[in-house]
Amino acid sequence: MTATLRRDSATGAAVAPGDIRSPLVTGLLVVLRLAFAWQFLWAFADKTFGWGFATPAERSWLNGGSPTNGFLANSASGPFESFYKGIAGDGWADWLFMAGLLGIGVALLLGVGMRIAAGAGA
């Protein structure tokens, strides 16, 4: 038995049987996705350039600051506390952290790789 796909009248996209979503819900989900994208992209830009929201200019990544040092060194607790404090401020951890912020933000903004972005964000 094969499932027949129908076309959404508003977007023209193929819709699987049983996938009933109103345009309002679709619009709200798009706004929510873009809001999450903004959060990740703003965190990336603020930590890179030090715009003063959460990162002062003198501690920005471009001025030699470490984006992971403050978070991992001060907020880690539990069984992995020593591991997180050990990698806080390492260059490879900074690069991975910043690449993750940028990658997740761009994926959410463009709406591509959503499952990968959701897994990476979690």
Could you tell me the two tokens for 54? Answer: 């959460």
What is the model's pLDDT at position 95? 94
Query: The pTM is what?
Result: 0.74
What is the model's pLDDT at position 17? 65
What is the model's pLDDT at position 3? 58
What is the model's pLDDT at position 93? 92
Q: Which residues of the chain have pLDDT under 50?
A: none
Beta carbons of 95 and 68 less than 8 angstroms apart: no
Cα(46)–Cα(70) distance, rounded to whole angstroms? Answer: 14
